[in-house]
Every structure is written in structure tokens, then in C-alpha cells.
């Protein structure tokens, strides 16, 4: 018997009982719909985390003071003074794969302008910092190397700070703000960046030359962290190594001594958070997969009922010349059509649900091709697997007994 005849027989047999066919499909439809939707939500959150981390900077590498165990006492990294401007020069000399480099010192406190004040963080950085963090100046200009050397009393305001300090002022550039009693002239306003992955407002910040913060505000000579950009994603790892080498040399660390600093790249952050959301995707997918399995068991259940109910039909088919394997193929085919057909509906419904939910709840959703392909393959396998046993039962019937069955 040809596959064409077989499909025709199976489709006709199913068309004779549409309601039963639909109910059997329902389990699979629900299973596939949930697989597609869950994977879309999981993938969507993964991608949006990646995008947000990427938007934090351009192939960014961050250096922070690390665990210092000399003397046996572990110190709070932020209070450590292990990074200096000499380290910065060492990195600048050694590391050949960097496109930008900037130190950072930061201090929190109230910023005051006229009658209003606002609690914020002031970050002392170099000119390259904007490029490293993918920041842009909306109004005015960035300070230059010259102003850094002079420790000029200038600053740029983030959008949040500008709005809170100068709610009614049209031209913020040219105004003066005071931070810890030091007057700083506003030479620019940063373009808005919004919240980051961790829910922090990236616009609640003031940038000033690091020299100004070191000398005039904090009265320190060390720096708190170093930010750099690798030339490309490909050389990011290499650049990290160069920075590590430069710092170890500059700190005169012996071979058996641990690093007293931490070098981390944006890529590592992405990997860390991606693996978390991959776990989430896997978990959601597994839960949805179980419902697909339940759908498959539903197919087997109804197929068994169907074989018993259609015993006389099977007897007749055998009597007019159907062979055991024709009957087996017919029932298998019915199971596969039900499961793959259910899979098709499920994919469509899943897509609609995923995008509908994404729109309504403003969730990021991503439907990958392979989640669709996998759903289909799983459906076909489920159909064959769960259809096999009932089909075997049907094929093994004795024609005379089947015809006599009431």
C-alpha cells in the first residue's frame, strides 16, 4: 500500500470522528503552545539582559581593587587604596589592545544649586569615559584632557540630576552647582540612558574630571577603579590579560602571590547573566515539555479506546485484504497526524500567545526557529511512540474475532 493511500485512509477514518480527533489533539496543542510560549519568554529575557549589558559599555573591561590578604586580614575592596595613577600609566604602556582608558573615583553626597538640592553620585573620570560607557552629551561639551590636567571645576549632569536641580531652567549649561562646597560649572548635560539591568537609574550621576574629585573634593591620590575598552570583542580576553600583567608588574607581585585586584569584562557579565536566564528557559521548557508528554499519553489513551471501538472496522479491513502492517501503519499514521496536526495548531497558538503576552505585559519575547522545529520533531516522535502500542494491538487482531466483536 502506498503512503498516499495510507494517509487517505487515516484522514478519512479521523474525519469520521472529528470530535474525538480534536479532543486527542487538544492535549498536544496545549503542550506545544506552552513549550513555544515558555521558550519565547525565556529567550526574550535572555536576549534583553544581553542587550542591556551590552549597552552598558563598548567591550568594557573594569578593574577594581581585589582581595588583599597580606597580613592575613581581608579588607573591604572599596576602602582599599591599591590602585594608583601609576597603575594607569603602566596599563597605558603595556596594553596594546585597548582603544580607551579612564580611571574613576566617585563620591556620594548632596548636590546643591540655588534653592534645590539632590542626593547623587559624582564620578571623577577621564575624557575617554564617555566612549567606554557608550554615553553621549546631549547639550554642551565633554571636558578635555587640558581641563583634567588643571583639575578644572567643571562637570556634566545626568538627565535625572539636571531635571531635579533645574526643573524650570531652560539652559542648564552655564549654571553652577555645588558639591561638598566646591562650585562646579555645568559644561554639559548627558543624554538619557535609562535604567540598567539591575534597576539602577543610569542618569542619576554627575561626571567631573577625576583630578578635580581627587584633589578638591576627596583629597586622595589613589583611584578607585579603572575602566577600559578593548579594541574589539575578539581581543577582549587578550586585553584583560595585558591589563593583569601590567598591574602585577606595577604592584611587584611575586609569581606565587594572588592578584590584589579584579579584572572583569563585560563579556563575563553577559555570560554570567545569560547562563542564569538559560537555566530559567530550561526550567520553563521542561515544565512545558511535561505537558507535551501528558498530551502524548492522552493520544495513547484515546487510541486504545479507538482501537476497541473500531474492532469491527479493523476486522472488515482485514477481511477485504488489509494486512497486519497496513492496519499498524494506519493507526500509527492517525497518531502522527493527530500529534503533528496538534503541533501545528500549537505552534500557531503559541506564537499568538507569546507575542500577545509580550505586547500586553511589555515583556521581551523571542521565538527562535529551532524551538519550532524541535516542537514539531517532538510531536512526531510522541505520535509514533504513543501510537505504537495501540496500533500493534489493532494489527494483531484476528479477522474473524474482530468481525464478530459487538
Residues within the interface to other proteins (CB under 8 A): 1-2, 5, 8-9, 12, 16, 312-313, 315-326, 399-400, 403
- Provide, rounded to whole angstroms, the least separation between the CB of residue 5 and other proteins: 5
Torsional sign, CA 18, 298, 341, 343:
positive
- Provide, rounded to whole angstroms, the least separation between the CB of residue 309 and other proteins: 11
- Provide, rounded to whole angstroms, the least separation between the CB of residue 24 and other proteins: 18
Partnered with residue 113 across adjacent β-strands are 116
Nearer to other proteins, 104 or 328 (CB): 328
For 352-386, give the DSSP string: HHHHHHHHHHT------HHHHHHHHHHHHHHHHHH
How far apart CA 376 and CA 347 sit, in angstroms, is: 8
Torsional sign, CA 13, 15, 19, 22:
positive
How far apart CA 300 and CA 302 sit, in angstroms, is: 6
- Provide, rounded to whole angstroms, the least separation between the CB of residue 23 and other proteins: 17
- Provide, rounded to whole angstroms, the least separation between the CB of residue 308 and other proteins: 16
Cβ proximity of 20 and 302 under 8 Å: yes
Cα–Cα distances (Å) from 120 to 1, 130, 171, in that order, read: 79, 19, 21
For Cα atoms 17, 21, 27, give the angle at the middle one, nearest 5 degrees. Answer: 155
- Provide, rounded to whole angstroms, the least separation between the CB of residue 16 and other proteins: 5
Nearer to other proteins, 209 or 315 (CB): 315
How far apart CA 70 and CA 281 sit, in angstroms, is: 43
Nearer to other proteins, 51 or 401 (CB): 401
- Provide, rounded to whole angstroms, the least separation between the CB of residue 400 and other proteins: 5
Name the residue among 189, 239, 394, 193 with its Cα closest to residue 306. Answer: 394
Nearer to other proteins, 4 or 198 (CB): 4
Nearer to other proteins, 1 or 305 (CB): 1
Partnered with residue 119 across adjacent β-strands are 110
Nearer to other proteins, 90 or 328 (CB): 328
Nearer to other proteins, 145 or 309 (CB): 309
Amino acid at each position: 500500500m502506498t503512503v498516499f493511500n495510507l494517509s487517505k485512509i487515516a484522514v478519512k477514518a479521523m474525519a469520521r470522528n472529528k470530535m474525538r480527533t480534536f479532543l486527542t489533539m487538544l492535549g498536544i496543542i496545549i503542550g506545544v503552545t506552552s513549550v513555544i510560549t515558555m521558550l519565547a519568554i525565556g529567550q526574550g529575557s535572555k536576549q534583553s539582559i544581553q542587550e542591556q549589558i551590552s549597552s552598558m559599555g563598548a567591550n568594557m573591561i573594569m578593574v577594581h581593587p581585589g582581595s588583599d590578604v597580606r597580613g592575613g586580614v581581608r579588607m573591604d575592596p572599596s576602602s582599599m587604596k591599591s590602585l594608583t595613577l601609576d597603575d594607569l600609566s603602566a596599563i597605558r604602556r603595556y596594553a596594546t589592545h585597548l582603544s580607551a582608558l579612564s580611571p574613576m573615583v566617585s563620591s556620594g553626597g548632596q548636590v546643591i544649586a540655588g534653592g534645590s538640592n539632590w542626593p547623587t553620585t559624582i564620578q571623577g573620570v577621564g575624557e575617554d569615559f564617555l566612549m567606554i560607557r557608550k554615553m553621549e552629551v546631549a547639550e554642551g561639551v565633554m571636558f578635555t584632557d587640558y581641563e583634567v590636567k588643571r583639575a578644572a571645576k567643571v562637570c556634566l549632569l545626568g538627565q535625572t540630576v539636571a531635571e531635579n536641580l533645574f526643573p524650570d531652567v531652560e539652559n542648564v549649561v552655564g549654571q553652577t552647582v555645588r558639591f561638598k562646597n566646591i562650585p562646579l560649572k555645568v559644561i554639559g548635560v548627558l543624554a538619557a540612558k535609562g535604567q540598567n539591568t539591575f534597576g539602577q537609574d543610569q542618569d542619576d550621576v554627575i561626571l567631573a574630571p577625576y583630578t578635580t574629585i581627587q584633589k578638591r573634593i576627596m583629597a586622595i591620590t589613589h583611584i578607585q577603579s579603572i575602566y577600559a575598552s578593548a579594541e574589539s570583542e575578539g581581543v577582549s580576553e587578550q586585553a584583560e590579560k595585558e591589563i593583569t600583567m601590567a598591574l602585577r608588574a606595577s604592584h611587584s607581585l611575586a609569581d606565587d602571590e594572588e592578584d590584589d585586584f579584579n579584572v572583569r569584562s563585560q563579556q563575563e557579565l553577559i555570560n554570567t547573566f545569560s547562563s542564569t536566564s538559560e537555566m530559567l528557559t530550561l526550567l520553563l521548557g521542561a515544565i512545558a515539555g511535561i505537558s507535551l508528554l501528558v498530551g502524548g499519553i492522552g493520544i495513547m489513551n484515546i487510541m486504545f479506546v479507538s482501537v476497541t471501538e473500531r474492532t469491527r472496522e479493523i476486522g472488515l479491513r482485514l477481511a477485504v485484504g488489509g494486512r497486519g502492517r497496513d492496519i499498524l501503519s494506519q493507526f500509527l499514521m492517525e497518531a502522527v497526524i493527530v500529534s503533528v496536526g496538534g503541533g501545528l495548531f500549537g505552534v500557531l497558538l503559541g506564537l499568538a500567545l507569546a507575542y500577545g503576552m509580550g505586547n500586553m505585559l511589555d515583556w521581551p519575547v523571542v521565538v527562535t526557529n529551532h524551538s519550532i522545529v524541535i516542537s514539531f520533531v517532538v510531536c512526531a516522535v510522541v505520535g509514533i511512540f504513543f501510537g505504537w502500542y495501540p496500533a500493534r494491538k489493532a494489527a494483531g487482531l484476528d479477522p474473524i474475532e474482530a468481525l464478530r466483536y459487538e
